[in-house]
Structure 1
Amino acid sequence: MSAPDATDRALLRLVAEDATRSAADLGRALGLSQPAAWRRLRRLEDSGAIRGRRLDLDAQAAGFGVTVFLGVKLAAKGRASLEDFERAAAAIPEVQTVEHVLGLYDYRLRVVARDIPDFERLLRRRIMTLPGAGAVEANVLLSEERRPGPL
């Protein structure tokens, strides 16, 4: 696919704000026909610029009152241990993101739990037993002012 043009970028902004908008509605907002808007959406999806659409749940309302960011340093490094750690961490439902980072820690995990005792259980039974897991640093989220949004 060629680089996104101004109309593609405007379309991406609209979809990022509300992924439920129809192609006809998006077309009207951009001065395009419904088929033209649909073709652009399909092309952006096929190229990987749009990787999917998801529901944004309120963790607190869903019963997860604690969010913790974990810095995890692997005890042993190697290609196999990285892949094993990533696969095992991603398989834990409470782990929302697994990010391989550069710095003091090898990975940054975003973890949700019902409360602190629930997080402690999760940490002891699931996270500390991940393949290659070494030192862990936890930072509890107090408030969140801005969630990731449109580029």
Structure 2
Amino acid sequence: MITLDDIDRALVRALAEDATASAGALGRDLGLSQPACWRRIKRLREVGVFRGARLDLDAPVLGFGVTVFLGVKLATKGRVSLEDFERAATAIPEVQIVEQVLGLFDYRLRVVARDIADFERVLRRRVMTLPGVGNIDANVLLSEERRPGPL
């Protein structure tokens, strides 16, 4: 684990808010020179604080009006079936997130689809045919009020 000072934490917060902010602008806001700010950002990247920069896409605007969270309980467990399931699930384009969880289900999947009929197609033809799948529970996203922010 890396030790972060107040300036590092401020950089992380600022970049989580706007990953396109320049080192010069961030430095001015934090009282650093552009090179000093750039070095701190570079160090944070090198130690793995930042895993990458992504665009925050609006799924409904792109035609994906349905988001469903699936709880998946595997019928069979073992190292091979977990790896096979994860590999196959991440290969499905509509599956945005695959999370191994502890509790009632073994995995939680976030799936996007154009509409309910499209989701049914994805569920029947892709998700239910994944290796080791036993029980599946679906929760349709009605609204998303808060998105995760910086830690």
Question: TM-score normalised by the shorter chain: which range applies?
Answer: over 0.9
Residues 45-99 of structure 1: CA deviation (Å, up to 9, x unaligned) = 1101111000000000010000000000001001111111111111111111101
Secondary structure of 2:26's counterpart equals helix
Name the structure 2 match of 1:44.
44
1:42 counterpart letter in structure 2: K
Distance in 2 between residues matched to 1:16 and 1:54, nearest whole Å = 10
User: Shift of the alpha carbon at 1:150?
Assistant: 1.1
Name the structure 2 match of 1:71.
71
Secondary structure of 1:15's counterpart equals helix
Equivalences for 1:1-151 in 2 at 5 Å?
Answer: 2-151=2-151
Question: What is the TM-score of this pair, normalised by structure 2?
Answer: 0.98
Question: What is the TM-score of this pair, normalised by structure 1?
Answer: 0.98
Secondary structure of 1:24's counterpart equals helix
User: Shift of the alpha carbon at 1:148?
Assistant: 1.3
Distance in 2 between residues matched to 1:94 and 1:13, nearest whole Å = 30
Deviation above 4 Å: which 4+ runs of structure 1?
none
Distance in 2 between residues matched to 1:51 and 1:139, nearest whole Å = 29
Distance in 1 between residues matched to 2:61 and 2:25, nearest whole Å = 30
How many pairs were matched up? Answer: 151
Distance in 2 between residues matched to 1:133 and 1:148, nearest whole Å = 29
Conservation of the 8 A alpha-carbon contact between 2:2 and 2:47 = no
Distance in 2 between residues matched to 1:131 and 1:31, nearest whole Å = 54
Distance in 2 between residues matched to 1:97 and 1:142, nearest whole Å = 18
1:19 counterpart letter in structure 2: A
Distance in 1 between residues matched to 2:57 and 2:94, nearest whole Å = 13
Structure 1 vs Structure 2: percent identity of aligned residues? 75
